[in-house]
Chain A
Amino acid sequence: MSTIITSAPALAPASKEPGQGGGVDYLNHETSIASWLLTLDHKRIGILYLVAMSAMFVLGGFYAGLIRAELITPKGDLMSSDFYNKSFTAHGVIMVFFVLIPLVPASLGNFMLPLMIGAKDVAFPRLNLISWYVYMIGAGFTLVALIGGGVDTGWTFYTPLSTTYLNSNVLLTATGLFILGFSSILTGLNFIVTIHRMRCPGMDWFRMPLFVWALYATSVIQLLGTPVIAITLALVGVERLLGVGIFDPRLGGDPILYQHLFWFYSHPAVYIMILPPLGVTNELISTFSRKPIFGYSMMAGASLAIAIFSFIVWAHHMFTSGLSPYAAMFFSLLTFSVAIPSGIKVFTWLATLFRGSISFDSPMLYAYGFIGLFTIGGMTGLFLSTLGTDIHFHDTYFVVAHFHYVMVGGAIVGFMGGLHFIWPKMFGRMYPEFLARMSAILIFVGFNLTFFPQFLVGYLGMPRRYHEYPNEFQVLNVFSTAGATVLGVGYLLPLLYLPWSVFFGEKAGRNPWGATTLDWTHTESPPTPHNFEETPVVTGEPYKYDTLFNKESALAGH
């Protein structure tokens, strides 16, 4: 055991520490708008993404509110079916492509990755800025398409509906997503090179924080998967514009081909969404229990295994499409292979908490919420990977509930945990802890109230994307809408107190959580423009709480 210091300077506000306060940091060394829009600093680019994605999240949430409001009553009495279809399409397109996929890598990843591996920036800072502009251009196209009349294909753009039957803004939306894809590819490429080439001396692969492993696995998927969706959307454009038969059988094409191509990307995309929050959760669980992650290499390996397996399970979205029964069995079996590493992760966190020193700061509450919701989301996936039950559940609200548990309960809640975790590093300020805990609890309760009834109504057979539904489904839908309002309040709170805290929050120390990774131990809060005054040298594993406290005591004295 280490020498335990009597007072933890890690928890003291920065203003009381000598050598800090009034220094130059990445936020105050330049303040003009141009200095933000032309910045090459990964930390600022992370914040640019954060702002853009928050705006998209609010917009996507607005459409979710419209959907839930319409579904209070069985009759389609609030809006036309056309507008309803456009609303769920807008909700899906915005949330999947503009929020969930880039969410953690582009915001938290951009900010944290170089800090965590002891680098001054990512490998290609200009490319990093370009990625953000590409994101914004893609978002611009899509928003113009949505505002200029909308698009009603569903976020899946299934053919031949999307290519030859609809008159809405399919091409414009597809163009926006095509452009957006390059943002994802470039970010993935940038991160892979950064992780390979920019690690500081002594940081070998198995000394990297697990969040970095998660970003690495994610980047591999982004790099390999995204070109496929770009090609697929381009083919949709070719068929729609030129009438070349690719997907529409009337023109000699095959609609099932589209599903294969689409899910070949869009299933791995689920893991683009969920792997980074899994990585974030590792940091949170370790930090707030002051223990190294139990079975580090297994955890790193599980991230890579999930990334690899994610590419060979896509046809489980197509079990009812007339797929050959043998192919269906094959893909069902492979799908279970993703369940195993996901389960390993949950068990690993529990083992990490065992005999830990657990504190319940708001990031940890989010991490608990993440584990709970990810467990339910993952376990209910069993119903859908199992052939005998999937046939009944396919395209019902059960699927809607399942993937919201994974993508919102998992990805969004994990992101919120990560955001609350690095907020003091990002802005050097603490947010109101009470409100943050309230938000974490409201989101957990509201989320379950919204989506658990959807499992039940899905088992009853209520199909997805229904503007009107039979009367017997109403009670469960009312519960769901009631939960959505609670969830909405839970999301609204951070939108208010986080920006407030940037200006008025209590000053945070360099390491308010007592975390062990370089971003906390070797940089200021907020960091200086080039992160590290001296290149750090790593001598051991990433999670060493015993030595951290010795080191902190040495720092306190200087």
Chain B
Amino acid sequence: MWDFPIWPESASTVAPSVEALYLFIVALNIGMTALVFGLLVLFSVLYYRRADDQVPPQYHGSMLLEIGWTAIPTVICLIVFAWGVKVYAELVVPPADSMDVYIVGRQWMWKAQYPGGQREINALHAVLGKPVKLTITSEDVLHSFSIPAFRVKSDAVPGRYTTLWFQPTQAGVYHIFCTEYCGTEHSRMIGKITVMEEGDYQKWLSEKAELGDALQGRKLFAKLQCVTCHAGESQARAPSLEEIHMKRIPLSFDKGSPVAPGATVLADENYLRESIRYPSAKIAAGYQYPSIMPAYDESLVSEDEMFQLIAYIKSLKKGQTPTRNEHTTTPTALGAPAGRP
């Protein structure tokens, strides 16, 4: 009867930090509740009405007390706030060496794409002790990707990317929940994450071997004829995309462009995605508004393919843009992304 859990598993590096803060606030809750309930009972016992016509002394207030019960809670709140920010910073800033995994939510399943091209539905695999960064989006409505054992959660928002990261500290299988109501089968949009030792993980990966995301993206880059304009050597029609990821890009403020003079943008995944879906939104300095690039909506580039394209753009090193007349080749014929001869 009593063998039910009241404490979730704590299986990531941030979980103990969240837990310590949780326990501190629990202590505050118990203290305050005990104080209020205790005084209610005490005063009720001491000061119950003895006679129908009893009139007690009429106090009107005390500046000292009032300042006290304003100032002390304010200080406590500031401590909790600051501690909360500290833990939050741990939760939102992934380590630089995190492995990228891309997550697409849709009614009612989670799709995961690994850098090596492996795919999973409603399941995720991670290596014990290795940080993983998830980049999350949705194909339809809002969802939210949550792993309670890791104390992490991030909404899946159509039209943009959100991220979360974790570093598992305990092998095992844990719940994945969708925590944002997403329609009829919301409660079935669940999955499992399996945390494995490095060796088991590599074995699992190789069993699911696929063409890597970046290579798939390279195929798309050619197929969609991106390379026609985003050529490596000539930047007359469009900027080169080599090593563009996480660079700060000065923006064009051509007349009509919705951008303030002098504005720049960080070329993160969200910017790359936006520039493919809505090319005129933020145009790099030196190019005209509106953009000459066609907008690639979901019918041309699905969310899964978008992740592949972005993986490819992120992998593009100096001088690696394929030449313009290169033909799309079959996947098996491709090795590593070929540099220009």
A positions within 8 Å CB-CB of B: 1-2, 4-8, 11, 76, 81-82, 85, 152, 154, 156, 158, 160-161, 165-166, 248-250, 254-256, 289-292, 294-298, 320-322, 325, 328-329, 332-333, 336, 339-340, 343-344, 346-347, 350-351, 353-360, 368, 371-372, 375-376, 379-380, 382-383, 385-392, 394-396, 456, 459-461, 463-470, 472, 474-476, 544-546, 549
Instruction: Please name all residues of chain B whose beta carbon is closer than 8 Å to the beta carbon of A459 when the two chains form the complex.
Output: 6-8, 22
- Looking at B180-188, B201-209, B240-248, B261-269, the stretch in contact with chain A turns out to be B180-188
Q: Does B50 make an interface contact (CB < 8 A)?
A: yes
Q: How far is the CB of B141 from chain A (nearest CB, A)?
A: 4
Quick one: given A321-B157, A325-B92, A368-B40, are A388 and B187 in contact (CB under 8 Å)?
A: no
> Which 7 residue pairs across A and B have the least CB separation, nearest first?
A461-B148, A388-B87, A249-B159, A386-B84, A387-B88, A295-B61, A466-B187
Contacting residues of chain B (114-142) with chain A, CB-CB under 8 angstroms: 140-142
Instruction: Report the bound CA distance from A382 to B24 in whole Å.
Output: 11
Contacting residues of chain B (1-32) with chain A, CB-CB under 8 angstroms: 1, 4-8, 17-18, 21-22, 25, 28-29, 32
Instruction: Report the bound CA distance from A357 to B58 in whole Å.
Output: 11
Whether B84 pairs with A340 at a CB distance below 8 angstroms is no
Q: Does B52 make an interface contact (CB < 8 A)?
A: yes
Instruction: Please name all residues of chain A whose beta carbon is closer than 8 Å to the beta carbon of B25 when the two chains form the complex.
Output: 382-383, 386, 389
Whether B186 pairs with A465 at a CB distance below 8 angstroms is yes
* Neighbour of A469 across the interface among B7, B43, B187, CB < 8 A: B187
Residue of B nearest to A361 (CB): B49
Instruction: Please name all residues of chain A whose beta carbon is closer than 8 Å to the beta carbon of B21 when the two chains form the complex.
Output: 386, 388-389
Instruction: Please name all residues of chain B whose beta carbon is closer than 8 Å to the beta carbon of A250 when the two chains form the complex.
Output: 158-159, 297-298
Quick one: given A290-B55, A355-B47, are A350 and B151 in contact (CB under 8 Å)?
A: no
Q: Does B211 make an interface contact (CB < 8 A)?
A: no
Whether B73 pairs with A340 at a CB distance below 8 angstroms is yes
Quick one: given A160-B158, A166-B183, are A388 and B40 in contact (CB under 8 Å)?
A: no
Whether A375 pairs with B32 at a CB distance below 8 angstroms is yes
* Neighbour of A255 across the interface among B36, B157, B183, B185, CB < 8 A: B157
Whether A379 pairs with B28 at a CB distance below 8 angstroms is yes
Instruction: Please name all residues of chain A whose beta carbon is closer than 8 Å to the beta carbon of B85 when the two chains form the complex.
Output: 329, 332, 387-388
Instruction: Report the bound CA distance from A467 to B182 in whole Å.
Output: 12
Number of interface residues of B (CB under 8 A): 90
Instruction: Please name all residues of chain B whose beta carbon is closer than 8 Å to the beta carbon of A371 when the two chains form the complex.
Output: 36, 40
Whether A7 pairs with B53 at a CB distance below 8 angstroms is yes
Instruction: Report the bound CA distance from A391 to B151 in whole Å.
Output: 7
Quick one: given A391-B153, A392-B151, A461-B8, are A358 and B187 in contact (CB under 8 Å)?
A: no
Q: Does B285 make an interface contact (CB < 8 A)?
A: no
Quick one: given A292-B60, A320-B144, A463-B146, are A388 and B86 in contact (CB under 8 Å)?
A: yes
Beyond known contacts A347-B69, A460-B8, A461-B8: 7 more, CB 8 A cutoff: A2-B55, A81-B186, A355-B47, A456-B6, A464-B181, A468-B188, A472-B4
- Looking at B75-83, B249-257, B312-320, the stretch in contact with chain A turns out to be B75-83
A-B contact pairs, 21 of them (CB 8 A): A11-B52, A161-B181, A249-B159, A298-B66, A332-B85, A336-B80, A340-B70, A340-B77, A354-B59, A358-B43, A360-B44, A368-B40, A375-B33, A376-B33, A380-B29, A386-B25, A387-B84, A395-B179, A460-B6, A461-B8, A549-B53
Contacting residues of chain B (38-76) with chain A, CB-CB under 8 angstroms: 39-40, 43-44, 47-50, 52-62, 65-66, 69-70, 73-74
Kindly supply a per-residue 1/0 record for chain B positions 213-226, scoring 1 wherever the CB is within 8 Å of any chain A CB and 0 otherwise.
00000000000000
Whether A465 pairs with B84 at a CB distance below 8 angstroms is no
Quick one: given A1-B55, A329-B85, A461-B175, are A339 and B91 in contact (CB under 8 Å)?
A: no
Instruction: Please name all residues of chain B whose beta carbon is closer than 8 Å to the beta carbon of A325 when the two chains form the complex.
Output: 88-89, 92
Kindly supply a per-residue 1/0 record for chain B positions 254-296, scoring 1 wherever the CB is within 8 Å of any chain A CB and 0 otherwise.
0000000000000000000000000000000000000000000
Instruction: Please name all residues of chain A whose beta carbon is closer than 8 Å to the beta carbon of B8 when the two chains form the complex.
Output: 459-461
Quick one: given A158-B181, A320-B153, A391-B91, are A296 and B4 in contact (CB under 8 Å)?
A: no
Quick one: given A347-B69, A475-B4, are A392 and B153 in contact (CB under 8 Å)?
A: yes
Instruction: Please name all residues of chain A whose beta carbon is closer than 8 Å to the beta carbon of B17 when the two chains form the complex.
Output: 388
Instruction: Report the bound CA distance from A165 to B158 in whole Å.
Output: 13
Instruction: Report the bound CA distance from A470 to B173 in whole Å.
Output: 14
Instruction: Please name all residues of chain B whose beta carbon is closer than 8 Å to the beta carbon of A394 when the two chains form the complex.
Output: 144, 153, 179
Interface centre among A344, A346, A392, A465 (most CB of B within 10 A): A392
Instruction: Please name all residues of chain B whose beta carbon is closer than 8 Å to the beta carbon of A464 when the two chains form the complex.
Output: 179, 181
Whether B32 pairs with A383 at a CB distance below 8 angstroms is no
Residue of B nearest to A11 (CB): B52
Instruction: Report the bound CA distance from A6 to B53 in whole Å.
Output: 7
Kindly supply a per-residue 1/0 record for chain B positions 151-174, scoring 1 wherever the CB is within 8 Å of any chain A CB and 0 otherwise.
111110111111000000000000
Whether B47 pairs with A357 at a CB distance below 8 angstroms is yes
Whether A360 pairs with B48 at a CB distance below 8 angstroms is yes
Whether B55 pairs with A545 at a CB distance below 8 angstroms is yes
Instruction: Please name all residues of chain A whose beta carbon is closer than 8 Å to the beta carbon of B90 when the two chains form the complex.
Output: 388
Instruction: Report the bound CA distance from A459 to B44 in whole Å.
Output: 34
Instruction: Report the bound CA distance from A463 to B43 in whole Å.
Output: 40
Interface centre among B48, B57, B58 (most CB of A within 10 A): B58
Whether A372 pairs with B40 at a CB distance below 8 angstroms is yes
Instruction: Please name all residues of chain B whose beta carbon is closer than 8 Å to the beta carbon of A298 when the two chains form the complex.
Output: 61, 66
Q: How far is the CB of A458 from chain B (nearest CB, A)?
A: 10
Residue of B nearest to A390 (CB): B84
Whether B154 pairs with A161 at a CB distance below 8 angstroms is no
Whether B184 pairs with A322 at a CB distance below 8 angstroms is no
Instruction: Report the bound CA distance from A382 to B81 in whole Å.
Output: 9
Instruction: Please name all residues of chain B whose beta carbon is closer than 8 Å to the beta carbon of A461 when the two chains form the complex.
Output: 8, 146, 148-149, 175, 177
Whether B81 pairs with A333 at a CB distance below 8 angstroms is yes
Whether A289 pairs with B88 at a CB distance below 8 angstroms is no
Whether A382 pairs with B47 at a CB distance below 8 angstroms is no
Quick one: given A161-B182, A388-B83, A460-B5, are A468 and B61 in contact (CB under 8 Å)?
A: no
Quick one: given A154-B181, A350-B40, A392-B153, are A545 and B186 in contact (CB under 8 Å)?
A: no
Instruction: Report the bound CA distance from A474 to B83 in whole Å.
Output: 33
Instruction: Report the bound CA distance from A231 to B187 in whole Å.
Output: 31
Interface centre among A1, A11, A359, A460 (most CB of B within 10 A): A460
Instruction: Please name all residues of chain A whose beta carbon is closer than 8 Å to the beta carbon of B187 when the two chains form the complex.
Output: 76, 81, 463, 465-469
